Amino acid sequence: MSFLATILPQIILATEEGVEGSGHTEEFVPGITSGPLVEYAWLIVVVPLIAAFLIVFFGKKSPFKGWLMAWLSIAFVAVYGTILFILNATQGIVYYGQVEIARIGDLVLEWGWSVDGLSIMMYFLVGVVGTLVFTYAKSYMEGDVRFTWFFASFSLFAGGMLVLVSAPNLIQLIVGWELVGVASYLLIGHYWEDYDNVDAANKAFMVNKVADAGLFLGAIIMAVSVGSFRFNDVIDVVVKGEAGPLSQYAFWAGLLLFIGAMGKSAQFPLHVWLPDAMAGPTPVSALMHAATMVTAGVYLLGRLFPFYIDVSGLFAGDVRNIIIVVGGLTLFLTGFLAIVQDDIKKVLAYSTVSQLGYMVAAMGAGAYTAGLFHLFTHAFFKALLFLGAGSVIHAVHSNNMSDMGGLRKKMPITFWTFIIGTLALIGVFPFAGFFSKDEILASMAFAGESGQNVANFILILGIAGAFITAFYMTRLVALTFFGEYKGHAHPHESPKMMAYPLIGLAVFALTAGWANIPGVYNGFTEWLATRVPLTGMGDHEATGFDWPLVLLTSGIVIASVVIGWLIYAKDAETQAARDRLRIPVLWPLFENLYYIDDFYMSGIVRPTMGPLAKLVLWIDMNIVDGIVNAIGAGSIATAKAVRITDENVVDGMYNATGAVTGATGSVLRRTFTGHIQQYAAFSFIGVLVIVVLFIVF
């Protein structure tokens, strides 16, 4: 009997510890709902943030100049997250701790921490992948002039993501969302001496701010409609199918929140920032593409999945078609852009955008497990590929594949681990990506059969995307590791602190997919489902492989590898000559990135910036400066009045008081002669005066 079948009947009154302030009466409660382990899980969030603070102030004087503090903090998250992951897999955990910090009318602002299947998966990913990346980063960043500052920002980056995934409410999620954005800005622009890097950081920040407007508006609509920022209160309304304010505005709330997710998870056409973000150090790229930032949008869709799946038909079900179309276009269109890139990191960046498209499309197809399972497996093999690319860059001192070739013999560990990551990405059995990508495609097929007609079209794009993925990765491997070396450096294998994380991630890239094998073992499905409330999720759970689809996709992947190898394996005098495939019309379109960046600059940024800049300048000079100048003039006049008052009134009073006191003292001083007889006479006269006054009055 499965885990869920065993514990699903356990519908009991929720304990305050387990779902503190959740607003529910009856909840699905698995084995662990209270106790120190879950009550102190807030440490997972706090420790990296404290480490970032300490590194800023004490990092340069600490051992390893701040790296050790950063590494220990993320290792703590890895250990704690792994313990929770194991316990959730064996017993099930649901706990929501919340502390009230303020109120806005009837809306309560809270800080808290979620400990359920979804958040635990993210704790595990951020901790384990982060620890391996932080280990790698020590050697990779050795000698950097801002070594300490890098690890402070890196710790803030991880901590911000943990704030986001631990959030039991929309306000805290937004705080984590923005922390991740600020940290990514610092890290993308780490090498700020080169203006292109600064421009890349600004681009990432601004594109995300545009999308964040949707997130903020959607959160406000949802919170005001429900009367609460808590996710569980929103889902409670959805599960009960209550018609009301939320159901009236659900489409717009769901669409606006999805726009926020599009920005963070780089969905077409808001994907333009992510390839440019490769300007940052490679460890940043690895963590960003694996377990932080770009996964935030998919996580948000997962957290609000019942709201979008909309079993009752009253909420955001209509947004799902938009989600699956955006995801499908992203996975298909951005894959082509990877084919024409020379920068090895940009090939992988466009690969990430495409894979995020698969995850988002799965959510649109109603496949909660499939979308998040691909997020889980992708974290390991994409981190591996980026760190492998960093190992190559470290050896040849160039990002460009035109300076590479023939590295398989010079860098055997990097080569073989990169091959494992590639096989996982393109979905070759039995590597991790095979299981998760197959589950997404099967879910799309199921959605199409269930009446979501657009899913059939997206399924075709998903299969075509598998062909494109295998093609551009074959090109990357051939140009980087085969043929003769074309660069000018003296490549060698990376140091152990860079090589060992590659091996660790390669193990996960091979085995992570075994956590959910349809019809054999559905552990991941069961672990992920431990959350409140469980009912109403509407997730499609595959009971076995869709063998015709598996064979079709696998055949297409193999054919793509063969075609790519025939085109790119043959060596030439230069890599440019070797990169011989060029299809007229299409290749210029891909090389110019569909002209989307050009459209943004010429169609939006420049026209907007010209008139808008002039308007803002006029307002600044004539209104803002006028107000500031008026306030300044008023302040000066007030100061003059105060000075005059001080000099002529206050000082006059003090001076007059002093003069009277001085004069009185001068008179009285003459009475103090030191003669006892005079003092006695004065005393007698004084007593006599008092007696007379007493008698008279």
Coil, helix or strand at residue 28: strand
Task: Report long-range pairs for 456-461 (Cβ below 8 Å, ≥24 apart).
Answer: 457/328, 458/324, 458/325, 458/327, 458/328, 458/361, 458/364, 458/365, 461/328, 461/329, 461/331, 461/332
| 625 has pLDDT over 70 | yes
H/E run at residue 126: helix 117-140
> Amino acid identity, residue 122?
M
pLDDT given at position 25: 35
Q: What residue type is assigned to position 648 of the chain?
A: N
Tell me the pLDDT tens digit for each residue of 357-371. Answer: 999 999 999 889 999
Higher pLDDT, 242 or 585: 585
The 10s digit of each residue's pLDDT in 266-284 is 999 999 999 999 998 999 9
pLDDT confidence of 30, banded at 50, 70, 90?
low
Asked if pLDDT for residue 5 goes beyond 60, the answer is: no
State the chain's mean pLDDT as an integer. Answer: 87
- Indicate if the pLDDT at residue 28 is higher than 60: no
pLDDT at 451: 77
| pLDDT band at 540; cut points 50, 70, 90 | low
> What is the share, in percent, of the chain residues with pLDDT greater than 70?
90
Cα–Cα dist 565/471, whole Å: 8
The least confident of 24-28, 322-326, 436-440 is 24-28
- Rounded Cα distance, 538 and 320, in Å: 13
Contact 431, 509 (CB under 8 A): yes
Q: How confident is the model at residue 533 (pLDDT cuts 50, 70, 90)?
A: low
Q: Is the pLDDT of residue 81 over 80?
A: yes
What amino acid is encoded at 506 in this protein?
A
Cα 425 versus chain centre, distance = 22
Task: Note the pLDDT of residue 24.
Answer: 38
Q: Which of 126, 152, 171, 47 is nearest to 292 (CA)?
A: 126
> What pLDDT score was predicted for residue 673?
64
SS3 content of the chain, % helix, strand, coil (to 5): 75, 5, 20
Q: Which residues pair with 103 in a beta bridge?
A: 108
pLDDT digits (tens, 9 = 90+) for 375-423: 999 999 999 999 999 999 999 999 999 999 999 999 999 999 999 999 9
Buried b (16+ CB within 10 A) or exposed e, 236-270: bbbbeeeeeebbebbeebbbbbbbbbbbbbbbbbb
Q: What distance in Å separates the CA atoms of residue 440 and residue 462, rounded to the nearest whole number?
A: 9
Q: How far apart are CA 450 and CA 444, in angstroms?
A: 10
Task: Report in angstroms the alpha-carbon separations of 465 from 178, 269, 550.
Answer: 32, 17, 14
**Within its chain, how far is the Cα of 29 from the centroid?**
29
Q: Which two tokens stand for residue 329?
A: 């276009």
Q: At what angle do helices 344-364 and 319-339 cross, to 10 degrees?
A: 160
Alpha-carbon span 595 to 599, nearest angstrom: 6
Q: How far apart are CA 351 and CA 430, in angstroms?
A: 20
The 10s digit of each residue's pLDDT in 171-182 is 999 999 999 999
The token duo for 409 is 């013999």
In the predicted model, what is the mean pLDDT of residues 486-498?
90
> Do the beta carbons of residue 514 and residue 521 sit within 8 Å?
yes
pLDDT at residue 539 in the model: 66
Q: State how far Cα 423 lies from the chain centre.
A: 27
Evaluate if residue 147 carries a pLDDT over 70. Answer: yes
pLDDT band, residue 534 (cuts 50/70/90): low
User: What is the CA 116 to chain-centroid distance, rounded?
Assistant: 19
The token pair that represents 507 in the structure block: 């193990």
Looking at residue 668, its pLDDT comes to 63
Residue 519 has pLDDT above 90, yes or no: no
Alpha carbons 433 and 214: distance in angstroms, whole number? 32
> N- to C-terminal Cα distance for the chain?
110
Q: pLDDT per residue over 37-73, tens digit each?
A: 999 999 999 999 999 999 999 988 888 999 999 999 9
> Is the model's pLDDT at 309 over the cut of 80?
yes
Task: Quote the crossing angle between the two packed helices 282-290 and 170-188, to the nearest 10°.
Answer: 160
Q: Count Cβ atoms below 10 Å from residue 303 Cβ, excluding itself.
A: 23
Q: Which residue has the tokens 């489409």?
A: 251
- Round to whole Å and give the CA distance between 163 and 173: 7
- Could you tell me if 213 and 6 are in contact, meaning their C-beta atoms sit under 8 angstroms apart? no
Residue (of 190, 227, 55, 30) closest to 120 by Cα position: 30
Residue with tokens 């199921």: 446
